[in-house]
Amino acid sequence: MNTADVIVIGTGGMGSAACAQLALRGASVIGLDRFPLAHDRGSSHGQTRLIRQAYYEHPDYVPLLLEAYRLWRRLEEDTGRRLLFQSGLMMAGSPEGEAIAGTLRAADIHGLPVERLAVAEAQRRFPHFRLDDGWIAIWEAAAGYLMVEDCIRAFAAVAQSHGARFKTDVAVLGWTAGAHGVMVDTDRGTFRADRLVIAPGAGASELARLNSIPLTILKKSMFWYRPKAAVAADFAAASAAPGSTGFPCFAFDTPAGFYYGFPALDDRGVKMAEHTGGRLVRNPLTLDRTLDRNEEARVAAIARAHLPDLGTDLAYDSSCMYTMAPDGQFVIGLHPESPRVAVAAGFSGHGFKFASVVGAILADLALNGRTTQPIGFLAPDRFRSQINERPLLS
């Protein structure tokens, strides 16, 4: 049967979370996707994603993050899977820069425990880092990383255990919403439901039909550097052994751009990437996934400058996509054309950490037409009066 209470278009990070929340609340759910669960063709893959609370992009995200942490832990309890690892995050850069100043501001507004470290103290604690004169560092112990593909599989497991159906290898051609429900046309027939959730990642420009929101897609690359044998243990993530601390997540706000990375989780080594920059993508279905030598050279230069003991022995690379909203903030709310349709788009390269709470918000919107979560600053209709704001990057 191609009918349900709610259809979800897109079953990546946000869509799979929505399927789980909807099914937990007793709704019948069909999740549609062109690709298999936890695939590597969109934005939610590549082993890890950062999670942090002192959010420089906008302090209004912090309440959402605190709820996201709670829901990630609930998902771990429900599935028996370890998904969120609080390795800590060491972020360094100019104290006047957007990242450092914004992080301290968000921490001050919301009373979050972060430490401000002088360069000498940061390098004493983390001897493999080299920081520029004039920088400061911020240590956020509550930060860490999520296992991105495992998170999606966990959402799907919860959803399926409560009756949700996932239909993959299905291309969505369009949708309509009227007084009596919604219809989704696909290459596998028409699906019908009372409500619709649209969370299509890089496909949002075509599928979400948000005419006032020009979304830009960027190709982003991730690189794994295998540490030298003599120091490999120093760059490893914490083990399960009592007292094990492990290497932290890290970020550098440099004049050349914003770069971030993770401890080594396997023999591929330390994952690093540039958050700024990116190459424009015209068609997400034909993304060129070959190694971007220029982007790798920039990341390797940061590794040599700020993690000189790591080396730049490239073991692996992967590509994903950022779907950028004009202001770099998310787009979450009821669709401007229909109260039967909830939409989540434009996560601008910093959204996955919110997937647990976004799923709950989408379920609220689909089933109740409203949510108590503070998402007013992310409303789709904000772009009708917004002009030429510079994208914020994390």
pLDDT one-digit tens code per residue, 91-132: 999 999 999 999 999 999 999 999 999 999 999 999 999 999
Q: How far apart are CA 313 and CA 302, in angstroms?
A: 14
SS (HEC) of 80-97: CCCCEECCCEEEEECCCC
**Is the distance from CB of 162 to CB of 24 less than 8 angstroms?**
yes
pTM for this model (two decimals): 0.95
User: Which pLDDT score, from 0 to 100, does residue 391 have?
Assistant: 38
Distance of CA 220 to the CA centre of its chain: 13
Taking 50 as the threshold, does the pLDDT of residue 136 lie above it? yes
What average pLDDT does the structure give for the chain?
Answer: 95
User: Which pLDDT score, from 0 to 100, does residue 363 have?
Assistant: 98
Query: Could you tell me where in the chain the CATH 3.30.9.10 domains are found?
Result: 91-142+216-324
User: Which pLDDT score, from 0 to 100, does residue 387 have?
Assistant: 40
| 132 sits in which H/E element | none
What digits encode the pLDDT tens for the residues 187-220?
Answer: 999 999 999 999 999 999 999 999 889 999 999 9
For 259-263, what is the mean pLDDT?
98
For 350-361, what is the mean pLDDT?
98
- May I ask the CATH class of domain 3-45+149-210+327-384? alpha beta
Query: Could you tell me where in the chain the CATH 3.50.50.60 domains are found?
Result: 3-45+149-210+327-384
Q: How far apart are CA 325 and CA 98, in angstroms?
A: 19
For 227-232, what is the mean pLDDT?
94
> Collapsing DSSP states into helix, strand and coil, what is residue 327?
coil
What digits encode the pLDDT tens for the residues 16-28?
Answer: 999 999 999 999 9
**Is the distance from CB of 308 to CB of 231 less than 8 angstroms?**
no
The domain covering 91-142+216-324 belongs, at the CATH homologous superfamily level, to: D-Amino Acid Oxidase, subunit A, domain 2 (3.30.9.10)
The pLDDT-based confidence of 243 (bands split at 50, 70, 90) is low
> Collapsing DSSP states into helix, strand and coil, what is residue 317?
strand
The pLDDT-based confidence of 182 (bands split at 50, 70, 90) is very high
The residues that are catalytic are 45, 48-49, 271, 275, 320, 353
**Is the distance from CB of 256 to CB of 304 less than 8 angstroms?**
no
b/e sequence 55-75, b meaning 16+ C-beta within 10 Å? bbbbbbbbebbebbbebbeeb
DSSP letter at 16?
H
